[in-house]
A and B are shown apart, each in its own frame.
Chain A
Amino acid sequence: MTPPPLLEIEDLVVSFTTRRGVFEAVRGVSLHVEPGETLGIVGESGSGKSVTMQAVMGLIEAPGAIERGAMRWNGEPLSGTRHGPRAAVAGREIAMVFQDAMTSLNPLLTVGVQITEVLRRHKGLKAAAASARASELLRLVGITNPEGRLHYLPHQFSGGMRQRIMIAMALAAEPALLIADEPTTALDVTIQAQIVDLLAELRDRLHLSVVLVTHDMGLVAELCDRVAVMYAGRIVETAPVQELFAAPAHPYTAGLLRSMPRLDDSAGRLEAIEGSPPDPSDLPEGCAFRTRCPRAQEDCIHDPLTTDLGSGRGVACWHPLAPPVAHGQEARVHAGE
């Protein structure tokens, strides 16, 4: 028997109660992360990427609630409440780096205090050992003179350095899985490149699994083994990264890749996806991408099931783009019925 995945999410549904009623931000997400693997999660803003990861970390708070779904860690249920698993696994074995480092670091405490606190709580280290280890972690993420910098407050670092400190803090508990939610969005390209190289290096050196949530297809291409594409609370496509870029199956993925301006090309108009993302509390019936989709037909008014395309690929679409075929023969892909 093959060993179970490190993390497995099955049919997760997360809802929020607002003044306008209850809506589902995550509508039946299933995914898995294998040991040592880097999974990219991309998709429209508001499609539920962060909420899915918050559910894994046990961070869904009222007015949000987990309505349904199972989460397993090494095959064992991540036992929890309506608000997600208990903090035991999340925090020790799974660590998360948030998009905005400034809001997730305590502005009033030195970074040394904040990192040693994690080391004491999760690794049971005493004061001296903890601060030695904290310096080591800062050095690991490329902060020079770490002993001196332990006494700095967060605002005394630049944005890129704070992001690296967040990564150091996340690594303090020696997690098996690092969830990075847009770790570089707020940063400049040269600093972003440093963080990306750091993540790749740490992943290889420490045999970490990583979930990278991002808008940037360039980062996905550079870092990820596999990709899940989200749209309106669902995963609409999963594929190994090479295949996804070479032959996207879902019309949304294809549109996303085509609309990306490229650095090595400045020709003409971009191929935009027309229309705008749907209101999560008022989704179109059936496939939520239907109203913007160039391939939509009448049957798209029914919910598309996820079709297994083989070799680790899946797509939730009635009329996916045909994968390239070997003998110049047009392939017919049958959407699951």
Chain B
Amino acid sequence: MPESEMAKQADPAKRLVEFTDVSVAYDVQRAAFWHRKPPPFRAIDGVSFQIGRGETLGVVGESGSGKSTIGKALLGRAPLATGNISFDGRDISKLSGAAMRRLRRHIQPVLQDPYASLNPRMRVADIIAEPLLVHGIARGKEAEARVAQLLNLVGLPSDTASRHPGSFSGGQRQRIGIARALAVEPDFIVADEPVSALDVSIRAQIINLFRDLQQELGVAYLFIAHDLAIVRHVSHRIAVVYAGRVAEIGPRDAIYGSPQHPYTRALLDAVPIPDPARRGERRPTIRGEFGRPGDEDHGCRFAPRCPLATKICREAVPPLAAKAPGHLAACWNS
């Protein structure tokens, strides 16, 4: 894909996914039965973004910041408190059960743990063919042929089909998971930390596979990861989330080249430089503990750790505002 293409904002005509002011609230258990029920916990809070066809939006942020929750909301697996999510022009929160099931075909998950996410008792062929049967797309000989084709696509030998997942390495299992997700020809894949559990030498293979499949099939990704170098490699645009809110979103090169939010800068500064000759160049980073969704509701949630924080930061929530075309940050002082 040409670099100029990669940097572009999702073109409205090609818009596939649209989050508008989405909040997810989980019920919180009361500490004891005589206590009043605490208010629901907002894991994400007023999140808005778009993803175009064939585009990858990378999502980064610290543990507990709400990355997986964004993915779950898209898969229809999280309770929305506000906002709406549209997919291909349809509001998915308003769909009936049957319509939702039909839509599911177009949005497929690839999950972090290739060890836990495949049923060990099923043959690989059946694992991959299952969504074909469920959605009534193919069966019998036709499904079998499709499985062979998919295995080939993800770089696995065809004799893989008759084996069980237990006998495969992590990287091979992740390929099986990807083949299964691709079986129904989805427009969109939610990949939640798809390489974190893999060996360093295998990660590069799977990252390449994600890129190749996008070029061949035009599938779009929501790609969630901790590793900023990996996200840079796979994404067209990147959303940085902090404590349940989008801190910054923009084209890849703008995020890495001219980060606007102090949290994004802190994240980039914290990455060790893999070159001993440049030892000591990494700048000292922010201190303090994680931001929690739900904290600091009156102001910027990053304020307690932010080197630039001023009075207004503790008093008013900074709006997500454009700093350059398609490049938005929620910070009063950038």
Chain A residues with CB under 8 Å of chain B are 44-45, 142, 158-161, 188-194, 196-197, 215-222, 224, 241-242, 245-246, 252, 255-257, 259-266, 269-274, 276-277
Question: At the interface with chain A, which of B24-32, B69-77, B122-130, B273-281?
Answer: B273-281
Q: Which of B242-286 touch A at CB < 8 Å?
A: 252-253, 256, 266-279, 282, 284-286
A-B contact pairs, 5 of them (CB 8 A): A188-B62, A261-B230, A263-B229, A265-B232, A273-B204
Question: At the interface with chain A, which of B80-88, B146-154, B205-213, B306-314?
Answer: B205-213
Closest to A215 in B: B200
Q: Quick check: A270 and B208 within 8 Å, CB to CB?
A: yes
Chain B residues with CB under 8 Å of chain A are 62-63, 169-172, 199-205, 207-208, 211, 226-230, 232-233, 252-253, 256, 266-279, 282, 284-287, 289-290
B199 — which chain A residues lie within 8 A by C-beta? Answer: 44-45, 276-277
B230 — which chain A residues lie within 8 A by C-beta? Answer: 261
Q: Quick check: A188 and B63 within 8 Å, CB to CB?
A: yes
Instruction: Return the contact of A189 from the options B200, B228, B284 (Cβ within 8 A).
Output: B228
Q: Quick check: B208 and A269 within 8 Å, CB to CB?
A: yes
Q: A221-B275, A259-B203, A261-B207 are in contact. Are A193 and B270 (CB under 8 A)?
A: yes
Q: Quick check: B276 and A259 within 8 Å, CB to CB?
A: no
B279 — which chain A residues lie within 8 A by C-beta? Answer: 221-222
Q: Quick check: B208 and A260 within 8 Å, CB to CB?
A: no
Q: Quick check: A259 and B201 within 8 Å, CB to CB?
A: yes
Q: Quick check: B276 and A242 within 8 Å, CB to CB?
A: yes
Closest to B199 in A: A45
B253 — which chain A residues lie within 8 A by C-beta? Answer: 266
B202 — which chain A residues lie within 8 A by C-beta? Answer: 272-273, 276-277
Q: Quick check: B282 and A222 within 8 Å, CB to CB?
A: yes
B273 — which chain A residues lie within 8 A by C-beta? Answer: 218, 221-222, 263
Q: Quick check: A272 and B267 within 8 Å, CB to CB?
A: no
Q: Quick check: B289 and A216 within 8 Å, CB to CB?
A: no
Q: Quick check: A159 and B272 within 8 Å, CB to CB?
A: no
B170 CB to closest chain A CB, in angstroms? Answer: 8
**Complex-state Cα separation, A38 to B327, whole angstroms:** 42
Question: 9 closest A-B pairs (Cβ-Cβ)?
Answer: A218-B272, A272-B204, A270-B204, A259-B204, A193-B270, A276-B169, A188-B62, A273-B201, A261-B229
A241 — which chain B residues lie within 8 A by C-beta? Answer: 276
**Complex-state Cα separation, A259 to B272, whole angstroms:** 16
Interface of B (DSSP majority class): helix
- Residue among A158, A191, A196 with most chain B CB within 10 A: A191
**Complex-state Cα separation, A135 to B278, whole angstroms:** 35
Closest to A47 in B: B199
Q: Quick check: B172 and A276 within 8 Å, CB to CB?
A: yes
Closest to B231 in A: A261
**Complex-state Cα separation, A197 to B274, whole angstroms:** 15
Closest to A278 in B: B169
B68 CB to closest chain A CB, in angstroms? Answer: 14
Closest to B235 in A: A266
A246 — which chain B residues lie within 8 A by C-beta? Answer: 277
Q: A44-B200, A188-B62, A272-B204 are in contact. Are A262 and B289 (CB under 8 A)?
A: no
A217 CB to closest chain B CB, in angstroms? Answer: 5
Q: Quick check: A189 and B286 within 8 Å, CB to CB?
A: no
**Complex-state Cα separation, A118 to B303, whole angstroms:** 38
19 extra interchain contacts, Cβ-Cβ under 8 A, other than A242-B276, A242-B277? A44-B200, A189-B62, A189-B267, A190-B285, A191-B290, A194-B285, A218-B271, A219-B272, A221-B275, A221-B278, A241-B276, A257-B274, A261-B227, A270-B233, A272-B204, A273-B201, A273-B202, A276-B170, A276-B172
- Residue among B201, B267, B268, B273 with most chain A CB within 10 A: B201
B236 CB to closest chain A CB, in angstroms? Answer: 10
A239 CB to closest chain B CB, in angstroms? Answer: 11
B200 — which chain A residues lie within 8 A by C-beta? Answer: 44, 215, 256, 259-260
